Structure 1
């Protein structure tokens, strides 16, 4: 059922918004770990984030999504890391990635119920085994010595 729901959402999004934009964040804690989420409707570990709504500034979408999914309230401006093509999901999808350093956020109760199955503070260079390819690549670019790519998870094959 989750796969059908995800496909229906993607189809609706393509029809409603021919170009889509998402935001994600590498949220860091004091120990240098990053916050990852596992959704109820799709497999894998992701950095928290989601879609930018029509007329919504990207930073407001990020702020909203972090409260919803992670219980993270921004208290400072995050660093924009990059702008990526996410065409393996569907054509003309893009993702803005931000880095939220420790000290620029506070805890708040998450507002999304039923969307997040599990959360973890992970070593950015040793994420959970089933972290998504895009998540692994972005963490390796930010925290390791991997060269930056214009693709979130790789060019569409």
Structure 2
């Protein structure tokens, strides 16, 4: 499904225009999940390069926590147990005008079946001090903020 990465640069303006017409302000969520060894869960999408925290967009009539639980299950096969902790709010203005991203810490979870169909290329667990080279800069920063006490940057 990596053909999506070749198409995405051409479809991105259309997708963003559709979001702006239908959503106005957009809101996304990302979850920081660690395993028993303290490794953080990251994923690669089929449509963009790099490693990311699992998450996605908040839909109409959906709370941010509900969206996070849905996206974690769909993308990563993680069932969120209990309420996650909101860590930070970021503006994604330079890349997507009007977009904001909420980052949550998922403390309690259990594995479940993923329902992603062709969206996820790979999932893997990484030590926070040994992230892959192609982890996105924003993902690297969010992990440092969540797990190493780095100062929170309001920009994504």
TM (norm. structure 2) is 0.91
2:74 corresponding residue in structure 1:
68
SS at match of 1:46: coil
Say whether 1:142 aligns with 2:137: no
Of residues 107, 127, 134, the one that matches 2:131 is 127
2:15 corresponding residue in structure 1:
9
1:92 corresponding residue in structure 2:
98
Of residues 101, 106, 109, the one that matches 1:105 is 109
Gaps of 5+ in 1: 153-157
- 1:5 shift after superposition: 2.9
Q: Where is the helix percentage greater, Structure 1 or Structure 2?
A: 2
Computed over aligned residues only, the root mean square deviation of the Cα atoms, in angstroms, reads 1.2
Gaps of 5+ in 2: 1-6
1:45 corresponding residue in structure 2:
51
Aligned length: 150
Structure 2 Cα separation of the partners of residues 117 and 71 of structure 1: 13
Structure 2 Cα separation of the partners of residues 121 and 7 of structure 1: 32
